Structure 1
Amino acid sequence: MTTIRELPIFDNDFKADPFPFYDELRASGSLAQVRLPTGVVCWLLVDYTHIRALINDNRLSKNSRFAGPSWHSVHINRDGETSRPVLEHLLTVDAPEHTRLRALVAPDFRPRRLATLRPMVEAVVSEALDRLDPDTTVDFATEFAALVPLIVICELLGVPVADRQRFRRWAELLMSADETEQALIPGAARELSDYLLALADERRAAPDDSLFCRLVQARDRGEMTDRELAAMGFILLVAGHETTAGLLSAGLLALHETPGAWQRLCDAPQDTPRIVEELLRFCSPIEVATPRFAREDIEVGTQTIKAGDTVFLSLAAANRDGSRFDQPNDVIVDRAGGGHLAFGLGPHFCLGAGLARLEGEVAFAALSNRFPDLAPVGGQETLMWSPGLLLRGLKTLPVRLRPALDRP
């Protein structure tokens, strides 16, 4: 009989280091049953080989209409109809809807387009660093890591400066796993949907060169609905903000906890892309991919996923699988080759992967140049990790700043 394990996603110690738990699950088999705090029992995969195989398996759907009654009774009914205009998005649909919607935004995330965004990203990072007070202790997680990707995605979408803090709050609420905030989700979803549709009217009257304006024009050509437009705005906001914020905060901590890693970044800025790639593997800001639902029975090893079962793939666990990566729990700045699954794989491969890499490279290069003696302060007790299942990043990260000019 399969043992059901509790998944303590609200425990700060667990979120700080979930990898011993994943190692234990992996040692006992490729597939484990876990219980979420909501009471729903689901399957969790933690080994690289099976995750890589199942991530593209059409027997698993991203559409919750294939979910069993326990998932519907808790998650669908909890979020309610008012949340669905933004919560049904690219990550919750399959082909052909997914193919159609992704094609509308893919051109803005291609390498040639991203190359034109580098000056904007550099300016955003520089301005964020200018706002930090040297020779003080600041909360890096809130004052830099969360701020930079928010401004970048708002620039990309064409969100007015005056509205960006509202966007930040909506993103935090709609991705919140805090039980005290669950009742606020439907209202936040409705507010964001109404805001985006009002912004769409403004962009129709006064077009600009923003991604959101191009989506409005696609809607007006009949290529997407109002509901799809609002949902696209939501997922671009969250995917372009929360995940990169996690990379920057957890990545900075990892560099300082690994002897010589931060100094290597400071001394060899040309190695920044390679270091960011290793941080993506090691930190895996998307800890667990959004749920999949079995269309039919699926055999995995000696176990059977039944039709209607909910399945989660832990990308973070796959990226720490010792059968795939040597010294998986160490940051190896010269690690050869890629192969990590930080951005997923296949049709649902993260659309913003290139943008996240660009932001990471620009941010870490600028940080190490401006504040080479920057360092976290306090012990583990000062670090607060974001609760929840899907994302992994720091809510608080106190650091002491010291500019380069103060070096002897």
Structure 2
Amino acid sequence: MPSVTPPRGMRDFLPADKARRERVLAVIRERYRAHGFDEIETPVLEEYARLHSGIGGDNEKLAFNVLKRGLDADAIRAAADDPAALTDLGLRYDLTVPLARFYASHRGELPTVFRAIQIAPVWRAERPQKGRYRQFMQCDIDIIGDGTGRAEAELLVASLDTLDALGLTGGTIRVNDRRALEWMLASFGFTEQERPGVLITIDKLDKIGPTGVADELRERGATPSAVDAFAAFLQRPQTLEHHPYGERQIRKALPQGAPDDVVASLVALGDAVAAARTDAEVPLQFDPFLVRGMGYYTGTIFELAHPSVSYSLGGGGRYDGMIGRFLGQDVPAVGFSIGFERIVDLVAGREEAASTAIVLVHDRDVPVAELVALKAALVADGRRVRLEQRTKNLKALLERAAADGYTAFAAVSAGATVGGLDIRPLS
């Protein structure tokens, strides 16, 4: 017999889990909209050529592709070594590529500066493991058409506000700039051709440490003098005094001679976020080794952190060159994605915002017309109502109702009225 379990890396959600996810999504949507973003929707499928155009980084290798319709065995054998000849569509692996295509298609109908919300599932052919799924929800906000630091500031403030609204106060955002990274690698002597591989290794700094990074760079055959200069920089003596986010801290974290314009834009971002927050300190941290794996980033990059966990809860960056691939002219764009699957497990359960959710436990002989009339009257009063026929094990019935989010119950006999119900709490 066929298996009844979901495909590997995909999940079913029971009613209580689904309700919790929807409550978290409702908070995220409400906060994003409060900051002036508008929600859009795009198809789950995109053209194969678009998904594999080189703008999706390593995610392109994880795309689920859809076999062309009508191919016979001979055509499949003839194209066995050419995926592009076998497929013409694929499931989206992120929401950024569809957004770029959406904007290119509807640019004339959108405002000059467009603030987009996208909340939808994406699919990647990952190797399933704890916390890594083949289908998962992404919650993105993006600003297209604004090349100034205002766009980054709006994104960061909206994201921090959303985290606060979910009860996860104390979040911080690590910030870097791909221009600073490129300058730093050039200053050490890495060639332009080897820098993408060097960035892959630098991204492992937290896991393998400075010595591990230097060893791996040598194994990769990177320019020896550049590796030596970089290793010396990583091992340089540093004071333990605390520097808040600002020009002094940023320049101290970079080699001498960092580009003034890049430093100035990073400092201005901190000033803007500080002006919008009431925290004692700016909730930003400059990290010169933050990489973010997507090759389409062109400027500021960021990752969301929270003291309760060691992993990031989201991130994003500026990708000014992506939309130009569809339009033939560059359009500034920057985005931020909250890691919904990670956040939803951290958010404490909340009661329904609506009035009491009631289970009407009725006797077998109560006429159907009376039951639906009682239910309709309570629903019209703003209640959530479920009808359940009394069972021998009433305790198990009520425990299940409580697990599904119901907060009260009432016993219903024939002839019962709304005013005569004895509504009792489930807890």
TM range (shorter): under 0.3
Structure in which a larger fraction of residues adopt strand: 2
State the TM-score, normalizing by the size of structure 1.
Answer: 0.27
The structure whose Rg is larger is 2
TM-score normalised by the chain length of structure 2: 0.26
Q: Which has the higher contact order (CA 8 A, sep 6+)?
A: 1
